[in-house]
Structure 1
């Protein structure tokens, strides 16, 4: 069955896909947003909505609902492998990922996009080398959906990207993470005062190698009930294969008394879940004839910080602006879309060399070396000049 042509089809209604759909629909573009699952649906995530994505949600009128469903973090407590700690200013919302994705998909619909859930895209349609639509399974039928531009937002290690030969995995920029939810975590009440004034914990230990642990109160009842997103992230594929991340977390919480106290009465209330993520958007082509790639599908994650949500939102708006520019010019060629996309995303200098990737890896390993991190945290806590100069950056 062939469905009438749309201006834009977006494959994947995660943050990148939904935000792109909202911006396009708000501008009057005919948008069809396709999602293989049914909302609400969960995804393993750190649940931190930082300034980048929050600013886009504000522009689209979606912050108020996020605010009502979140714990608002005001500070981060950094804890070293030797138990040294310091508090640094850091602000973000913490809402469960299933709530965030629901809010964003509903926002796209409010602005005029059509959302089709439980619609599985099985392939791309190409005509003379140009992507002109998708093939999908919807309500038990094979359907052909045509469009002027297809936005590929089907997540990390994109299957559609692989079908075009544009998605690449780079082992030296690979991170592996897992998280679970706990309740009755004993939060410091001098720092966790209420839903709108809370703190999170980042811990560093030889148990991760290059990596870190986190404990973040999440949701509207995070502070009241001690409900936290707890996780671990590592940048060592071999070490990951040798010991599971859950085991590392329990060893970490038992090795530092202050962390052990936080989890004395804590109960895990969800399975441990996680996956792999790229750290640098190396080797992923962002646009071609009739298509653009956004969010995790484009391997867009802020190096070191792992704020994939803000990168996804930025790329979503850039792709929306690029599509509008392409429609005005009557040119959906890969060259024009790439130029428009890069201009909007300010990524013309983003091409990363292998040498730069190796340098980033070295920096990551140094940053997460337990002895280096221990000394850094000690200086941040005890040396006012060091603290002032570093927290300005």
Structure 2
């Protein structure tokens, strides 16, 4: 287990920098690491000191591993993470299948601390706790931001401002980048310590049941006889523009999860909940924000909707989009492109990711119709080929949407 220091403020705000990154989660820290490593003056701010809590399932699937490897941080992360060999998919009728993959679990309190520290080592200047107030504009261009540090307000000028503020809608509205205020879903999680189950519940369990519609429950092992347990619900926008299931009662879902899934019940009955249950919104499918940004301003990570529908996986895609933002800014600088061309390049790169997110949105039908999980898992238990495809969904070599298409359903029934 990583030994974390007590939260402590870091750094002082500069008057100016090349890039000001607001938000030091995975996307912001990844972006800061690459830009600072390339020699740019980067100021990385966050409203919290580190280490700090973050509501998440804490799962690291192959896309996160790949991004961490590119950052040069994978080995260090894996020294502290709990390695997992399979995702256990559990259907409403009790059928289950273990899907192999390159997997690990590390609580975000630890992961985000490692990421922000890595950005500092690359040369980024971290300043916390700092709250974002507003952008500074000149001649129609964003040229910095007004930040609050304690009781003081400070203006930081920058050639570029990168917004990496996660699912919080306030900063997106304040900067004019928000196109959808409501989240795509919501999640509730807690950490439970239960020494009696040490050595058990070693898979990453994902459970579907009618009682959990339109979402699912999970149990992920964190090591030291502690598990991340939670539920998530995904919304669906109807023809009238309203979000279906936006009023999902997560606490009731959590109670139902412990009722319908025996391992969850055992975990809670004999365990001690650490620091209560905590909830958070999710922003998915690369929707809800202007991809092209504004003059002098772009967004990255969950502010853009970088979390996958269906699985709720967000760490890997937050890292990926943070790297994408850094790559775009560096490529534009080196090629001498004007600002409009850089922002258009970023929008184009994000658009190239969109089809994959759409496929996960399609696969989200399992959360709305859990009987589909019965069908897929029943077939996967009899088909090594389908099991390989499900494993491919984890490492993004297979298409989750194809499994949930009409053609995919017919194949499951006839092959």
TM interval, short-chain normalised: 0.7 to 0.9
Give the equivalent residue in structure 2 for 1:298: 304
Contact 2:62–2:101 (8 Å) recurs in 1: no
Give the equivalent residue in structure 2 for 1:195: none
Give the equivalent residue in structure 1 for 2:113: 102
TM-score (norm 2): 0.81
Give the Å deviation of 1:157. 3.8
Contact 1:169–1:278 (8 Å) recurs in 2: no
Give the equivalent residue in structure 1 for 2:409: none
Contact 1:35–1:120 (8 Å) recurs in 2: yes
Contact 2:284–2:302 (8 Å) recurs in 1: no
Contact 1:148–1:332 (8 Å) recurs in 2: no
What do the CA deviations read for 1:156-190 (whole angstroms, capped 9, x no partner)? 1443321232212276x72111001111176595x
The answer to whether the aligner puts 1:184 opposite 2:189 as a matched pair is no
The answer to whether the aligner puts 1:309 opposite 2:315 as a matched pair is yes
Give the Å deviation of 1:339. 3.0
Aligned CA RMSD, in angstroms, stands at: 2.8
Contact 1:184–1:267 (8 Å) recurs in 2: yes
Tell me the distance in 2 between the aligned counterparts of 1:206 and 1:45: 23
Contact 2:61–2:101 (8 Å) recurs in 1: no
Residue 390 to residue 239, structure 1, CA distance change in 2 (3 Å): closer
The answer to whether the aligner puts 1:208 opposite 2:219 as a matched pair is no
Q: SS of 1:318's equivalent?
A: helix
Tell me the distance in 1 between the aligned counterparts of 2:93 and 2:13: 63
Give the Å deviation of 1:232. 0.5
Contact 1:78–1:87 (8 Å) recurs in 2: yes
TM-score (norm 1): 0.86
Tell me the distance in 2 between the aligned counterparts of 1:363 and 1:39: 36
Contact 1:6–1:32 (8 Å) recurs in 2: yes
What stretches of structure 2 of length at least 5 have no aligned partner? 1-11, 236-242, 393-397, 399-415
Give the equivalent residue in structure 1 for 2:66: 55
What stretches of structure 1 of length at least 5 have no aligned partner? 193-197
Tell me the distance in 2 between the aligned counterparts of 1:385 and 1:52: 22
Give the Å deviation of 1:346. 5.8
Following TM superposition, the consecutive aligned residue runs of length 4 or more in structure 1 with deviations greater than 6 angstroms are: none
Contact 1:124–1:160 (8 Å) recurs in 2: no
The answer to whether the aligner puts 1:235 opposite 2:234 as a matched pair is yes
The answer to whether the aligner puts 1:289 opposite 2:295 as a matched pair is yes
Which of 11, 15, 19 aligns to 1:4? It is: 15
Give the equivalent residue in structure 1 for 2:163: 152
Give the equivalent residue in structure 2 for 1:377: 377
**Mean Cα displacement is larger for which, 270-279 or 122-131?**
270-279
